[in-house]
Amino acid sequence: MKFTIAVLDGDGIGPEICAGAIQVLNAVGAKYGHQFTFEHYPIGGCAIDECGDPLPRATVEGCLAADSVLLGAVGGYKWDDMPVDKRPEKGLLRIRQAMGLYSNIRPAKLWKSLAKASPLRYELVKDGVEIIIVRELTGGIYFGERGSAEGADGEYAWDTEKYSVKEIERITRIACELAVKRSKKLVSVDKANVLQSSRLWRKTVHEYCARNYPQIEVKDMLVDNMAMQIVKNPAQFDVVVTSNMFGDILSDEAAQVTGSIGMLASSSLGDSKRGLYEPIHGSAPDIAGKDAANPIATILAAAMMLRDSFDLVREYAAIEIAVQKALDDGLRTADIAEKGMRTVSCSEMAQAIADRV
Ligand code: NAD
């Protein structure tokens, strides 16, 4: 099969980690007979330098014409003092909008061989952990009506959590599509004991799943309990679906369980198969250009693209297994190395994973 991938390298370590992911995708293509064509477009700081806009029109058009999009990271010291609207990060928000992406999927995976990096007790994580949080990205309290006013007690302010059945159904569909390819278990997180919007959330998730994905077992969990369970027994979770604000908080908590930011990928999806795949970390300007970054988060983002945009589940698994083998063989970039371990560079790690594909 043939696929065109728009690559937005971005700033800092972006070009290095994207090069690593491309190397691994080419290895997958050679093994399974696929042809990946990579078209590079500027975003973020480098786009500001090139044409004064963190998201040039050609980049948007290139992304919309491609089968999917791989992003490195944006930002850096050089652009820190620019006005908010002109900053590199604005390019990210705008590309999500332009592509109509309303979900964010963040797998927090702790690999067995890195279990000691977790801040949790070894017994809790020794068999590995993988919590995939599917977060609604364009609705809820972050986008609801807000305001402030003066009252008898002085100034007060409010924000509104509002969700429609349509918004809940479309994020549930994305979570279900993942769950059917995995354990067929879904945990839906809400605060239905207090919030009206959560009661609609809960009812809609159940009705939608019963109608469209009867093979999936749905369990509800209150957000306060979920926050506790992530540190008490993280291995119980697989796919989790939740609202914008709860997902924001819980996905950061779950990421901490893994102990390493350089290993975590994420994707944003909308109605079409075209998604935006990226590592969760930033552009790491402190190590940029030194060939020292960990490319695994971006390589795993590329693997998610194969599975979720192109339905290449076997090829996704091939990358996961190759990463596992590289870790089992003792390969470590500096950020994941235990004391005294020999470390490899970004390009050596990417090569090692490509070889193991
Ligand atoms: P960061 O994630 O870039 O770096 C935090 C720390 O983690 C640094 O010490 C860095 O060296 C390390 N690190 C990050 N990724 C790594 C990797 N792959 N391998 C090894 N070490 C890694 O966060 P920050 O320092 O707060 O932000 C730097 C810049 O990145 C800022 O301009 C920020 O706005 C931007 N940023 C961009 C994104 C994005 O593009 N999605 C996300 C977060 C931050």
- 244-258 vs 223-232: helix crossing angle, rounded to 10: 10
CA of 89 to the centre of ligand 1 (A): 12
Residue whose token pair is 């979720």: 308
Q: Which two tokens stand for residue 183?
A: 């354990």
pTM greater than 0.85 (yes/no) = yes
Question: Tens digit of pLDDT for each residue in 145-180?
Answer: 999 999 999 999 999 999 999 999 999 999 999 999
C-alpha to C-alpha distance for 221 and 252, rounded to whole angstroms: 18
Q: Is the distance from CB of 97 to CB of 143 less than 8 angstroms? A: no
Amino acid identity at 122 = Y
The residue whose CA is least distant from atom 43 of ligand 1 is 282
Q: Are 166 and 204 in contact (CB under 8 A)?
A: no
**Residue 142 catalytic?**
yes
Q: Give Cα 291 distance to the centre of its chain.
A: 23
Q: Please tell me the distance between residue 13's alpha carbon and the centre of ligand 1 in angstroms.
A: 9
Active site residue 271: no
What are 51's two structure tokens? Answer: 């044409």
Write down the catalytic residue from 142, 162, 291, 325.
142
Which atom of ligand 1 is least distant from the CA of 79? 32
What's the CA-to-centroid distance between 282 and ligand 1, angstroms?
A: 3
Q: Is 53 a catalytic residue?
A: no
- Strand 68-73, strand 275-279: pairing: parallel
pLDDT-based confidence at residue 259 (cuts at 50, 70, 90): confident
Residue 220 tokens read as 């509800």
Question: Tens digit of pLDDT for each residue in 269-326?
Answer: 999 999 999 999 999 999 999 999 999 999 999 999 999 999 999 999 999 999 999 9
**What is the Å distance from ligand 1's center to 142 Cα?**
24
Closest CA to 263 of 337, 181, 351: 337
Ligand 1 centre and the CA of 177: distance in Å? 30
**Does the annotation mark 122 as catalytic?**
no
Using CB distances shorter than 6 Å, the residues near ligand 1 are: 13, 73-76, 89, 92, 261-262, 278, 281-287, 293-294, 297, 335
Give the per-residue pLDDT at 33.
97
Contact indicator for 230, 257 with CB cutoff of 8 Å? yes
Among residues 241, 245, 347, which one has the least CA distance to residue 296?
A: 347
- Please compute the mean of the pLDDT values over residues 15-43 and round it to a whole number: 98
User: Is the CB of residue 127 less than 8 Å from the CB of residue 236?
Assistant: no
Nearest CA to ligand 1 atom 1: 282
Please enumerate in sequence order all residues whose Cβ is within 8 A of that of 255, keeping only pairs 6 or more positions apart, or say none: 106, 108, 261, 264, 280
In this structure, are residues 137 and 356 in contact, taking their beta carbons and an 8 Å threshold? no
**The two three-digit tokens of residue 312, written as one number:** 């290449």
With a cut of 90, say whether residue 115 has pLDDT above it.
no
Q: 79 pLDDT exceeds 90?
A: yes
DSSP conformation letters of 38-71 = EEE---THHHHHHHS-SS-HHHHHHHHHSSEEEE
pLDDT value for 117: 83
Q: State yes or no: is 248 an active-site residue.
A: yes
The pick from 43, 89, 260, 283 for probing ligand 1's pocket by mutation, whose C-beta has the most ligand atoms within 8 angstroms, reads 283
Query: What are 296-306's pLDDT values in tens digits?
Result: 999 999 999 99
d(CA 90, CA 213): 37
Give all strands (DSSP E) within the chain, no chain letters: 2-10, 35-40, 68-73, 103-110, 129-136, 146-151, 154-159, 185-190, 217-222, 239-242, 265-269, 275-279
Of the residues 67, 102, 191, 277, only one is catalytic, namely 191
